[in-house]
Chains A and B, each alone.
Chain A
Amino acid sequence: MLLRLDKVAKFYGRKIIFKGVSLELEAGRILLLCGANGAGKSTLLKIMAGLIRPDAGRAAHTLTTNGRLGYMGHQTFIYPAMNALENLRFWAGMHGLEYRASDLAALLQRVNLLPFAAEKAGAFSRGMAQRLNLARILLLEPELLLLDEPATGMDAPSRAMLEAEIIAAAARGAGIVWISHSLEADLPRAHQAALLEGGRLAFLGSATDYARLLTGAGA
């Protein structure tokens, strides 16, 4: 088991955001996390990432190597005053990873940013910054990927590249929790689905069951 949440609850002061959230994720599986705006998806993802602590319950992941956790949040984590390559080099260094310049260039090529390697990241569009963010995560060869609407600002080719990377990561054995704003398009790629609604986990099961539920409700 890669990731396990056990009766996790989160409050904002005295207000409940959600409670009693339990789920498990195995290596190589993609879990699509659904819910309306403000249901607490992002908060739940931050708890999974260990960024904030749950007010009740337990959240634990079992990574073989510490730090192999890739989290893409609402923000791009990019230093605007550094260029794309310097950004990657800094994060690699902070993670204690040794990378040659050619490795970093190949990584930038993977996210189609190589022509902009020497440009200040502050001049990047949202989609480009998000791609650089993706490169920063791929750098870690993550075992667990936590993606909070990763396609934000990306154009169609970039989105296709992102989805290919997600599927490839799962094929390599990474566990993935994915919050997506284009549910119909991404549901077929997921193995599991979870719906956060009304302060609790309203659905947890296979992605195909959830798709059936959605079409059933729509009909």
Chain B
Amino acid sequence: MQRRVSYIYAAPVPALLGGLLMAASQLMIVLVAPVEERMGLIQKIFYLHLPLAWWGLFSFFMVFVCSLLYLLRRDFFWDALSEAAAACGLLLAVLALATGSIWARISWNTWWTWDPRLTTTLVLCFIYAGFLLIRRMDMTPERRGGVSAALGIIAFLDVPLVFFSARLWPQTIHPQVVTQGQGGGLDPSMRLTLICCLISFGFLWAALLTLRFRLGRLEEVLNARLLVQEPETAGNHPQNNEEKNNG
């Protein structure tokens, strides 16, 4: 409850590593990875698309885990972490959709197609955007924690159903689209580039997450400070409350 906000030094490490690795992996995308025969140059967007999608989905999984932990421990640490994970996940998932859409436009001549994976990712974006909106409602921190943890759990359990329903839905164009890019026979240099990209995006993700997490924790502290001036909950001993806040 009264943990200090001392995560300030946490973000630069993954950010620095992520930046360096990102530069390296960009070079690898240009210099090492070969141009794919059938799809041509546009296929290289895949090296951005896949890490974005994977880390985005991992973020959403993290929201689920943090939600469970919050309900078990009732510690706002997990609450703030789940918000940070949802925000980062939303950002990455939207970028994954955007890169995928550009790729689809060039190689299959359509911006959007009814594919289970695309649909599920889009619905995930909607769900977690709603999750972040609900958190902005006027609630006590305790209720916000409970509500968003419950939503985080429901959302994650709903995902398989969304995926299956999207797969059952009659598909008119391009069934098995995405598997083409990552099917079994990946060229070794392609695989190396992909792994490098995955790792560098992982660090980028970690840096974003830490920054967003710290922001949430600072917001908590700030809200506590602001509350002291509010007559309803603050009482008539502001100096006393101030003192305890630091403890």
Contact = CB atoms under 8 A, between A and B. Distances in A.
A/B touching: CB–CB < 8 A: yes
Interface of A: 11-17, 19, 36-40, 52, 55, 197-199
Among A14, A19, A38: residue with most chain B CB under 10 A: A14
A12 B233 contact: yes
A37 B231 contact: yes
A14 B74 CA distance: 13
A14 B2 CA distance: 6
B245 A12 contact: no
Nearest to A12: B233
Contacts of B237: 197-199
Contact of A15 (B76, B228, B236): B228
A37 to B, nearest CB: 7
B221 A14 contact: yes
Interface string B227-246: 11001111111001100110
Given A15-B245, A16-B245, A39 B141 contact: no
Nearest to A37: B231
Contacts of A14: 1-2, 76, 220-221, 223-224, 245
Given A13-B141, A14-B2, A55-B1, A199 B235 contact: yes
Contacts of A19: 244
Given A13-B141, A14-B2, A38 B224 contact: no
Nearest to A200: B240
A36 B231 CA distance: 10
Contact of B236 (A12, A13, A36): A36
A45 B141 CA distance: 20
B140 interface: yes
Nearest to B223: A13
B227 A15 contact: yes
A38 B2 CA distance: 21
Closest 9 CB pairs of A and B: A13-B141, A14-B224, A15-B224, A198-B237, A38-B235, A16-B244, A198-B240, A36-B236, A15-B227
A38 B241 CA distance: 13
Interface of B: 1-2, 74, 76, 140-142, 220-221, 223-224, 227-228, 231-237, 240-241, 244-245
A63 to B, nearest CB: 25
Given A13-B141, A15-B227, A15-B241, A38 B220 contact: no
A16 B238 CA distance: 11
A40 to B, nearest CB: 7
19 contacts: A12-B140, A12-B224, A13-B76, A14-B1, A14-B224, A14-B245, A15-B227, A15-B245, A16-B245, A36-B235, A37-B236, A40-B235, A55-B1, A55-B74, A197-B237, A198-B237, A198-B240, A199-B237, A199-B241
A11 B245 contact: no
B242 to A, nearest CB: 10
A17 B233 CA distance: 7
Given A12-B140, A16-B245, A199-B244, A38 B223 contact: no
Contacts of A12: 140-141, 224, 227, 233
Given A13-B141, A198-B237, A38 B231 contact: yes
Nearest to A11: B1
- The residue in B2, B142, B221 that gathers the most chain A C-beta atoms within 10 A of its C-beta is B142
A129 B26 CA distance: 71
B240 A199 contact: yes
Nearest to B2: A14
A199 B242 CA distance: 11
Contacts of B142: 52
A39 B220 CA distance: 21
A201 to B, nearest CB: 13
A198 B235 contact: yes
Contacts of B231: 37-38
